[in-house]
Amino acid sequence: MGIFSRISDIVNSNLNAMCDSAEDPEKMIRLIIQEMEDTLVEVRSASARVIADQKATARRRDRIAAEVVNWEEKAKLAVSKGRDDLAKAALQERRSVEESLRIIEEELTSSGEHIAQLNEEVGQLQQKLDDAKAKQKAILLRSKAASSRMQVKKQVQRNELDNAFAKFERFERKVDNLEGELRAMDLGRDTASSLAAEIDALGEDDWLNDELLRIKDAVADTETPGDSGSGAAQSS
C-alpha cells in the first residue's frame, strides 16, 4: 500500500467506531497510534528527500539559466565580430539549454506541489494522531476508573463476607457460652442431688435399724412367757 493510500485510510478512519468494535479497545488504539507514528516518520522522511531533491534541482536550474545567459552573450559577441554563423550556432545552443531549463522548471513546480501535498497530509495525520492519543488517554482513564471500582467492589464484598463470618462466630460463641452455663448448672444440681441422696440414705439406714431393733424386742417379749410355761409342764 502506498504512503498516500495509508495516510488517506488513517485520516478517513473512525477511531470511535474502531475502538468500540474491538475486543480490546486499549490494544486497538495503541496499534493505531503505532501505525500513525510509523507513517508520520515515513512521510517526514519522504518530505525530507523531496525537499533535498528540490534544492538540488534548483541549483541545476540556476546553472542552466546561467548557461542560457552565457549563450546569449556568445551570440552577441559573434554578431559583433561579423560571424553570423557562430551567432546562429550559439542561439541554437541557447534554445537547447532553454528547453532543458523549461523541463527543470516543470520539475520544480511538480516537486513544490508534492511538498505542499506532503505538508498537508502531515498536518492531517498529526491531527489524527493527536486525536488518537487523546482517545487513548480517555480509554486509559476509563480502564483505570473501572479497575478501581472493581477493587472497591471486591473489597466491599470481602468486608461483607468477613462481617457475615464474624456474626456467625459471635453467634457460635454465644451458643457455646449458653451451653457452658447449662452444663455448669447441671453439674451443680447433680452434686446437690447426690449429697442430699447420700444424707437421706444415712437417715434411712437409722430408721431401718431402729425398726429392726423394735421388731427384735417385740419378738423377744413374745417368746419369753411361752418358753416359761413349756418348761413347767415338762417338770410336772
Range of the domain at 12: 3-161
Read off the pTM.
0.49
Q: Is residue 220 part of a domain?
A: no
Rounded Cα gap, residues 76 and 67, in angstroms:
14
Question: What is the structure's pLDDT at 186?
Answer: 58
Q: Is residue 90 part of a domain?
A: yes
Q: Is residue 45 part of a domain?
A: yes
- DSSP calls for 212-233: HHHHHHHHHHHHHHHHHHHHHH
Q: Is residue 153 part of a domain?
A: yes
The pLDDT tens digits for 30-81 are: 888 888 888 888 888 888 888 999 999 999 999 999 999 999 999 999 999 9
C-alpha cell at 112: 513544490
∠ at Cα 56 (95, 53), nearest 5°?
115
Q: Is residue 217 part of a domain?
A: no
Q: Is residue 177 part of a domain?
A: no
For residue 156, give every residue at least 6 positions away whose Cβ sits within 8 Å of its Cβ, in sequence order, or none.
none
Q: Is residue 171 part of a domain?
A: no
The H or E element spanning position 160 is helix 84-235
Question: What is the structure's pLDDT at 17?
Answer: 56
Quick check: 6 and 39 in contact, CB under 8 A?
Answer: yes
- Mean confidence (pLDDT) of the chain: 77
Q: Is residue 190 part of a domain?
A: no
Structural domain tally of the chain?
1
- Model confidence at 195, pLDDT cuts 50, 70, 90, reads low
pLDDT average, residue stretch 126-136: 85
Question: In the chain, pLDDT over 90 holds for what percent of residues?
Answer: 25
Rounded Cα gap, residues 7 and 122, in angstroms:
9
